[in-house]
Chain A
Amino acid sequence: MTTENNNVPLESTTEDNFNVASHSMVKYSRQVSRATAKRLSLFFIRRLVLLLITIVVGVYVTIIVANMGGYVDTILKAQIREEVNMQVAEMSAKSHMSADERRDLTNSMIADREKLAGLDKPFIVRSFTHLKNALTLNFGRARFMISDHGSRMVRNIILERLPATLLLMGTSQLLLFAVSLFFALVISRHYGSFWDKLVVALSPTSSIPPWFYGIFLILIFAAWLKILPFGGMVDAPPPPTKLGYFLSVLKHMILPAFSLFISSFMINVYSWRTFFLIYSSEDYVDMAKAKGLSSRAIERRYILRPTLPNIITSFALMLVGIWTGATLTETVFLWPGLGTTIFEAVSKYDTAVIVGTTIIQAYLLGITVFLLDFLYAIVDPRVKLGGGK
């Protein structure tokens, strides 16, 4: 909770800029900010608890879907039966066992193994065991896949791949946010110009997902021009120096990051520019113009500030949606992140990894939603008025 409290004074100082700074006003505003801090932290505690409940329910639903009607259990049972049958066949080859003895042995071994796997308990009980395991990131062991360090634990496989995904997503999304905000501001200043019309005309191109741009970019830059790699994250063999490694990763990241960037760029610029235009036709903006404020000041205080909550909301929705695109983009570029992991797991039918990756994604989504809520509350003064809503 400390981070939120740290941010509150920052919030109130910006607000102070609007006030005439007489002594009594400062005192008053300090009181206000203390009260706001309390309300804000209350708000966050509430949000955090609600979000945790939401995540738990989300993960539980995911588990139910993964194990609906005990379907995964059936697969597991069949696997156990097959393994036991083979073991018994091996044993009976060396010793003399009658058919009855062999059958009894098989059945008792299957029963033991099923009990060990917790398959004898009813589905409801099992689903809560699964939930507990999932929440503590205890996803069990993969059937076929192994992590690069040789571990069979699903957790290790996923945690090993997570940084790659975060690197790619973080870079492309931050770049996207900053660049499109800048372009949207510039273009809203020149409403009706050629560039403005171009953005409006090109905004439907964002209906095409990033992996699709990826396919084209690969064909152009890798297959045809041969200047960038087809995929992967680093050259093989990896460069020995740290700088060389960094540059190699950078080179491999250009195409995937660019395809994630380009698929959302136009729609972002378009919708944010539209927000700016809507808000710049408000009366208080005309008022500010009449007062003779500089256009920079108007932009910062009267246009950017009130639109920021909207911008963050649209960015949040996009970010939530982009996880889908990231799965495919990674697969197309063979980027060794979560998306490629889920693709590999699907093709190898490694159920534990599929369930584990899905749950990790639920977590990531939950964290995204929370962080954006947090940002939202900082930039939107109305949240404070509501206190705990």
Chain B
Amino acid sequence: MKRLKETFRDVARYPSAIIGMIIVLALIIFSIYTIWKIPYNEAIKMWRASESVVYKNPRNARPTWVNWFRKDKLPLSVDVVAGEDDDFTKVSEPRASGGNSIEFVYTFDYESNELPQDFFVYFTSNYQTKNPFVSMVLQTPSGEEIKIVDTGITRNQNYRFEQDEKLRTRLKRLHRGNVPSTAMEGLFSKFGSDPFEIDKGSYTLTIQATTFEEGSDVDAELIMHGKVFGLFGTDNLRRDLKVAMMWGAPIALAFGLTAALGTAIITMFISAVGTWYGGWLDELIQRITEVNMVIPYFAVLIMVGTFYSRSIWTLLLVTIILNMFSASIKSQRAIFLQVKESTYIEAAIAYGASDLRIVTRYMIPRVIPMIIPGLVSAVPSYVFLEASLALLGLGDPSIPTWGKVINDARNYGAQYQGLYYWILEPAVFLMITGLGFALLGFALDRIFNPRLRGM
């Protein structure tokens, strides 16, 4: 206990160690928060990107905070439910012939120089036999009224502005000579402007719904796909990168820590046993170490990932097996050889301690302080190993990880299209994780290694 306290006092003397420790602790807390906030199954469901999960997300949207650094702001993504929001009102009146007349009014300011990606209205209604009817009109800041659509709706009906051919034809006619390439361009540009100039100001979307039965009602949810979304943005499949950024942390930690810890403990045990028994066992272990040095371990991992399984846990196991006989066996062997000759081991033999007892109780504890710095410093290499495999397309298909996001981004050509956030976000996370463990490991190395003290 006293020794632990002293160690802590030593650690506190190195600012880099404190920074490293804070980062590692923050990562652990962040991981726990992630697991609690988005349970594993939910995260996987969200990452599979079925339409019901991602319908609110725009495609390739930058994170919202990029607007802080931009002069011309990118349009935000909007999701409003009628009646729940002050901007989107719902007024319902009974009609004389039965049913209701419902008016939805959505008023919004549009000040961006860029067009939104799309507009959707999701209608939900209840009725027995007669479908309700809706008509939509958009009033622009210049005072023009554009008829969007007149249509009957089913119980769950969505209307996408960009997919309505009739709307496009109408917009083409309204704009005369200059043909808008998308419905959004037609709706948000001044009539007669050439090239298209965005009509900034207050827009009003009025939806007039009519139901034809007693008790029949209509609800509407309006979604605008802007060009920024959330804290982390979205990818080409409209997945919220938040899921991958958050879940990347526990997975990276689990992989890195398990691999580093597993490898270190097994290596230590192997070299202790080899040194204690000596003879052919020691010789065999040394030969295996040499063979292991020649085996290209990353290439073997690639083979395993390609031929057998891409499961992250299989790859973890193979990583540990391939790193068990690492070069550190040789340096540990040198220490164990000294320990083996010391008098307290002789005393242990004299009182009849078993081989197992000597190895686990007297030999291994001597090297533990020496392997801790290496263990901590090894964590980043395993974290990056997982990312490396993901970059080659060998990531676990079901789990979102930082490396896989970089792989997705590169496959999509994000670096050529200016979608830098997509690469930089996971990269920054990986870098912080790597640096945190490395800072801590380097400081520990200087504390535990007497020759490096004060250097």
Establish whether residues B416 and A223, one from each chain, have CB atoms under 8 Å apart when the complex forms: yes
Contact with B along A227-241 (1 / 0, CB 8 A): 000100000000000
**Which residues, 37 to 60 on A, are CB-close (under 8 Å) to B?**
50, 54-55, 57-58
How many residues in B have their beta carbons less than 8 Å from beta carbons of A? Answer: 51
Which residue of A has the minimal Cβ distance to B451? A278
Min distance, Cβ A386 to any Cβ of chain B, angstroms: 15
B452 surroundings in chain A (CB, below 8 A)? 274
Is the C-beta of B293 less than 8 angstroms from some C-beta in chain A? yes
B296 surroundings in chain A (CB, below 8 A)? 62, 323-324, 358, 361-362, 364-365
Interface centre among B300, B304, B424 (most CB of A within 10 A): B300
Establish whether residues B392 and A343, one from each chain, have CB atoms under 8 Å apart when the complex forms: yes
Cα–Cα, bound, A361→B302 (Å): 13
**What is the interface of chain A mostly: helix, strand, loop, or mixed?**
helix
B299 surroundings in chain A (CB, below 8 A)? 62, 327, 342, 354, 357-358, 361
Comparing B50-58, B97-105, B437-445, the segment that makes contact with chain A is B437-445
Is the C-beta of B431 less than 8 angstroms from some C-beta in chain A? yes
Is the C-beta of A139 less than 8 angstroms from some C-beta in chain B? no
Establish whether residues B416 and A230, one from each chain, have CB atoms under 8 Å apart when the complex forms: yes
Known A57-B291, A331-B391; contact A208-B300, beta-carbon cutoff 8 A: no
Which residue of A has the minimal Cβ distance to B377? A207
Establish whether residues A212 and B435, one from each chain, have CB atoms under 8 Å apart when the complex forms: no
A144 surroundings in chain B (CB, below 8 A)? none
**Which residues, 184 to 226 on A, are CB-close (under 8 Å) to B?**
201, 203-209, 211-212, 215-216, 218-219, 222-223
Min distance, Cβ A166 to any Cβ of chain B, angstroms: 15
Establish whether residues A324 and B294, one from each chain, have CB atoms under 8 Å apart when the complex forms: no
Min distance, Cβ B302 to any Cβ of chain A, angstroms: 6
Establish whether residues B300 and A320, one from each chain, have CB atoms under 8 Å apart when the complex forms: no
Cα–Cα, bound, A357→B296 (Å): 10
Comparing A22-30, A64-72, A151-159, A246-254, the segment that makes contact with chain B is A64-72
Please pick, from B307, B424, B430, the residue contacting A351 in the complex, using a CB distance under 8 A: B307
Cα–Cα, bound, A2→B418 (Å): 57
Is the C-beta of B124 less than 8 angstroms from some C-beta in chain A? no
Min distance, Cβ B27 to any Cβ of chain A, angstroms: 14
Known A274-B452, A358-B300; contact A58-B291, beta-carbon cutoff 8 A: yes
Establish whether residues B427 and A216, one from each chain, have CB atoms under 8 Å apart when the complex forms: yes
Interface centre among A204, A278, A355, A366 (most CB of B within 10 A): A204
Establish whether residues B300 and A65, one from each chain, have CB atoms under 8 Å apart when the complex forms: yes
Interface centre among A207, A216, A223, A323 (most CB of B within 10 A): A207
Establish whether residues A58 and B388, one from each chain, have CB atoms under 8 Å apart when the complex forms: no
Is the C-beta of A385 less than 8 angstroms from some C-beta in chain B? no
Min distance, Cβ B220 to any Cβ of chain A, angstroms: 42
How many residues in A have their beta carbons less than 8 Å from beta carbons of B? Answer: 56
Cα–Cα, bound, A206→B384 (Å): 12
**Which residues, 333 to 389 on A, are CB-close (under 8 Å) to B?**
342-343, 346-347, 349, 351, 354-355, 357-358, 361-362, 364-366, 369
Cα–Cα, bound, A323→B452 (Å): 29
Contact with A along B255-296 (1 / 0, CB 8 A): 000000000000000000000000000000001001101111
Min distance, Cβ A26 to any Cβ of chain B, angstroms: 38
Establish whether residues B392 and A215, one from each chain, have CB atoms under 8 Å apart when the complex forms: no
Establish whether residues B297 and A324, one from each chain, have CB atoms under 8 Å apart when the complex forms: yes
Which residue of A has the minimal Cβ distance to B388? A328
Is the C-beta of B381 less than 8 angstroms from some C-beta in chain A? yes
**Which residues, 15 to 38 on A, are CB-close (under 8 Å) to B?**
none
Cα–Cα, bound, A212→B451 (Å): 32
Known A66-B303, A207-B377, A215-B406; contact A58-B294, beta-carbon cutoff 8 A: yes
8 residue pairs from A and B, CB less than 8 Å apart = A65-B303, A71-B308, A201-B16, A204-B442, A223-B415, A230-B416, A274-B452, A354-B303
Sort A-B residue pairs by CB-CB distance and give the 6 closest, nearest first: A204-B438, A361-B296, A207-B438, A58-B294, A207-B380, A324-B298
Chain B positions near chain A (C-beta within 8 angstroms): 16, 20, 287, 290-291, 293-300, 302-308, 327, 377, 380-381, 384, 387-388, 391-394, 406, 415-416, 418, 420, 423-424, 427, 430-431, 434-435, 437-439, 441-442, 451-452, 455
Q: A61-B291, A215-B423 are in contact. List 19 more A-B contacts (CB 8 A).
A: A54-B287, A58-B295, A62-B303, A204-B439, A211-B391, A212-B430, A215-B427, A219-B423, A230-B415, A274-B452, A317-B327, A323-B298, A331-B391, A343-B392, A346-B302, A346-B392, A354-B302, A362-B296, A369-B293
Chain A positions near chain B (C-beta within 8 angstroms): 50, 54-55, 57-58, 61-62, 65-66, 68, 71-72, 201, 203-209, 211-212, 215-216, 218-219, 222-223, 230, 274, 277-278, 317, 320, 323-324, 327-328, 331-332, 342-343, 346-347, 349, 351, 354-355, 357-358, 361-362, 364-366, 369
